[in-house]
């Protein structure tokens, strides 16, 4: 599941709407909504996001949060390490191989390290 898929599922649950009801209302198939929620589809289009925001009558801040989650929810990432040293490429490949086996607390620690490195730049 992607962050956007989880948010969409939570939004539907909070509003008491089924996938079929929502799909019919915004003009997509229930299968498409299911695939988005389960992370089997890439980022949704801007048009789709606008239809979701309109359907649920989401206010600006919540809509912006939903749009940002969609941007960060592509389930198949491509990392471009061209021009970087060999250790960067090796690390990217290792992460790709092992990401499914990492415990949640390890991912949390890696995010903290990335946040700390971003602050230093």
- State the CATH number of the domain containing residue 49: 1.10.260.40
Q: What Cα–Cα distance (Å) separates residue 9 from each residue in 16, 35, 61, 107?
A: 10, 11, 18, 23
Taking the C-alpha atoms of residue 30 and residue 60, their distance in angstroms, rounded to an integer, is 26
The token pair at 87 is 């250790």
- Phi/psi at 2 (nearest 5 deg)? -100, 165
Q: Can you give the pLDDT at residue 10?
A: 92
Same domain, 64 and 91: no
Q: Can you give the pLDDT at residue 107?
A: 93
Ordered alpha helix ranges (H), the chain: 3-15, 19-26, 30-37, 46-56, 60-71, 86-98, 104-120
pLDDT in tens, the chain (121 residues): 788 999 999 999 999 999 999 999 999 999 999 999 998 887 889 999 999 999 999 888 888 988 988 988 877 788 899 999 999 999 999 998 999 999 999 999 999 999 988 887 6
Taking the C-alpha atoms of residue 86 and residue 1, their distance in angstroms, rounded to an integer, is 31
pTM for the complete prediction? 0.68
Same domain, 7 and 63: yes
Same domain, 65 and 90: no
| Nearest to 75, CA basis, from 35, 42, 110, 36 | 42
The token pair at 17 is 């709407």
**Domain of 65?**
3-71
The token pair at 106 is 């390890």
Same domain, 42 and 90: no
Number of domains in the chain: 2
Same domain, 65 and 7: yes
Rounded to 10 degrees, the C-alpha dihedral 97/102/108/114 comes to -20
Same domain, 10 and 55: yes
């Amino acid at each position: 599941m992607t962050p956007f898929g989880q948010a969409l599922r939570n939004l539907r649950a909070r509003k008491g709407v089924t996938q079929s009801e929502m799909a019919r209302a915004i003009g997509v198939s229930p299968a498409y909504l299911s695939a988005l929620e389960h992370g089997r589809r890439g980022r949704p289009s801007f048009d789709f996001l606008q239809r979701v925001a309109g359907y649920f009558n989401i206010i600006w801040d919540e809509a912006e949060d939903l749009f940002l989650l969609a941007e960060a929810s592509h389930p198949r990432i491509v990392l471009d390490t061209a021009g970087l040293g060999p250790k960067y490429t090796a690390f990217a490949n290792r992460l790709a191989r092992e990401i499914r086996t990492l415990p949640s607390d390890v991912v949390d620690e890696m995010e903290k390290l990335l946040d700390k490195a971003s602050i230093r730049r």
